[in-house]
Homo-oligomer: A and B are copies of this chain.
C-alpha cells in the first residue's frame, strides 16, 4: 500500500481548496491508498520535509474547503532547475521515498505542470514507482489543451459582475468621468476579455488585451474620442499591457511606481495630466482570485470532479498527465474529462487566437458563447456571523 501526496502551487484561486476537497473525498474511497498527505507551501514542503496528514482533519473542516478561497496549504512560486542532477531533485526523491509516496497530485498552472513533468521523467529514470497527475488551476485560463481552467469561471463571474457594478456607478453623476479598470492576466487576456459580455449603457468602451499591441498615444487618442462623444468612459485593461508601457519620458517618470500602482493608476494619471479629465482607476487586485461569494457552481462541481478523476487515474497507474476539460456543447453546457500528457501542457501558454481577439473588439459572439455557461449557479454556503465560514486546518505533521 502506497501513500498519496498532494500540493498546491502557484497563485491561488477561489476553488483550489475545492480541488483539495475532491482529492480527500475520493482518496478516502480507495483502500489502495494509505496515508493522504499534503505538502505545505507547495514544492517547498517536499524539499523541506514539511508534510501534514489530511486524514487528521475533521469531516466538518473538510466540508468547508469548497467555500474557502486562497490556498489553504500554502503555495509557492518555486521554479525547479532544468538540470535534473540539481540537488533539489535528490531532496524531492528522498521525501517521496521516506513517506512511501506512490501517488503525487500537483494542483497548479503552467510552471507547476512543468515541475510535474520533470518529476515524472526523473522517477522513470531512477526507477521509483510514483504516479504523477496534474490538476489544472489558474484564473489566467492559459493552460493548453483544456477548454478552460479551474478557477477561471469564478474569477470571470467576479470580473463581469463587478465591471457591471462599477460601470453603473460610473454613470451616476452628470459630469465627466473616465473609469480605468485593471484585470489580472500577464500574457493571456482571457479574464480581461470577459468585459466583452457587458451590454448596453454599461458596455466597456475599449478593452485592452496583452495579445494586442499597446501604444500609449493610441490609447490616449481613443480615450479622447470616447470622452468627447459622451463625457464618460469605461476602459478595461489587462495588467499584462504593463510590459508594453514606456517607462521613460515625462508622463511616466513622476509616478511610475510600476510594481505598486499598477497599470490603471498610471494610465489614469496620464489621462488626467494630458486632458484634465476626472479619472477613476480601479484595480481588481486579489479580490478577483479570492472572492468566495463569486464561486460558481460549474467551477465548484468541476473542481471536485477533476480531483476525483485525478485520484482514480493515479490509482489505476496513469502518470505524467494532467486532467483536462473538453467541452461538448455550450447550451446545455456539457463537458467531458480526460487525461492529457504533460509534455502537451508544460510551458505552453494558451493565449487568445487572432480570431478571438477580433471578436473581443467586435461583437463578442465567440466570447459570450464561451464564458456564459461557466458563470452559472452558486454553491450553497455555510455562514457564521455574517461571513462565509472558512475552513481552518489542524495541519498535523505526518508521523
Contact = CB atoms under 8 A, between A and B. Distances in A.
A69 B169 contact: yes
A386 B157 contact: yes
Interface string A275-291: 00001111101110111
A216 interface: no
A164 interface: yes
Most chain-B Cβ atoms within 10 A of its Cβ — which of A14, A164, A172, A257? A172
A220 interface: no
Contact of A260 (B157, B202, B265, B294): B265
Contact of A291 (B12, B165, B375, B385): B165
Contact of A161 (B40, B160, B161, B293): B293
A12 B68 contact: no
Nearest to A269: B260
A64 interface: no
A28 interface: no
Interface in A163-179: 164-166, 168-174, 179
Contacts of A168: 68-70, 290, 390
B173 A75 contact: yes
Interface residues of A, number: 66
B282 A257 contact: no
Contacts of A12: 169, 172
Contacts of A173: 41, 74-77
Contacts of A74: 171-174
Contact of A71 (B172, B269, B392): B172
Contacts of A281: 260
B162 A385 contact: no
A172 B75 contact: yes
A98 B349 CA distance: 65
B376 A165 contact: no
Contact of A41 (B166, B174, B386): B174
Contacts of A283: 282-283, 285
A76 B197 contact: no
A41 B172 CA distance: 8
A385 B196 CA distance: 12
A255 interface: yes
Interface of A: 12, 14, 40-41, 44, 68-71, 74-77, 157, 160-162, 164-166, 168-174, 179, 197, 200-202, 255, 257, 260-261, 265, 268-269, 272, 279-283, 285-287, 289-294, 368, 371-372, 374-376, 385-388, 390, 392
